[in-house]
Amino acid sequence: MPLYAAYGNNLDPEQMAKRAPHSPLWSTGWLEGWRLTFGGGETQWGGALATLVEQRESSVFVALYDVPEWDESLLDSWEGTDLGVYSRIRLRAQTLLDGDVPVWVHVLNDYEGGLPSALYLGVLAEAAEKAGAPPDYVADLRSRPCTS
C-alpha cells in the first residue's frame, strides 16, 4: 500500500494529526526528480498554492504517512479534491532506511506560476522545519519570492 507523501503544510505533524488522525508518521524522505513550485489560485486563495512539477536534479523533502482508507477521504477533503483543486498522483520517494518506496501526493489542478502569500510561505517553512527538513531546505523556502 503506498504511503502519503506530505510536501506542503501537511508536513506539520500536528496538522496531519488533525486532518488524518489515524495516520502515523512512517518516515521522511525525498521526491527525486520533482520540484516544489506554486500555481493557480492567486485571486481566490490570496496567493498561489504549493504543487509539484517534474524537474531533473531537483528534489522535494516529504514526510511519509501510513494513511488508512478511512483517513484518505478526510485528507482528500482538506486538500479540495472534491472541488477539483488538487488531484492524486502516484510517485516513488527515496528514504534513508527503506530506499525507494511507492507514495501518493496531491498535485494542483492548475498551471504553474504566481507567487504564494508571505503568510502561506511562512506556514510551509515552519511545517518543513517541524518535520525535520534540513536547514538549507527550510532557508530556501523562506527566501522564495512571495506577495505581502
So which residues are the catalytic ones? 79
- Whether the Cβ atoms of residue 70 and residue 101 lie closer than 8 Å to each other: no
* SS3 category, 112: strand
**Crossing angle of helices 118-130/135-142, nearest 10°?**
170
Size of the chain, expressed as the number of residues it contains: 148
d(CA 10, CA 134): 17
Would the annotation count 120 as a binding residue? yes
Instruction: List strand residue ranges (DSSP E) for 1-140, in order.
Output: 3-6, 25-39, 49-65, 86-95, 99-108
d(CA 34, CA 51): 10
Known binding-site residues equal 120
Known binding-site residues for substrate equal 120
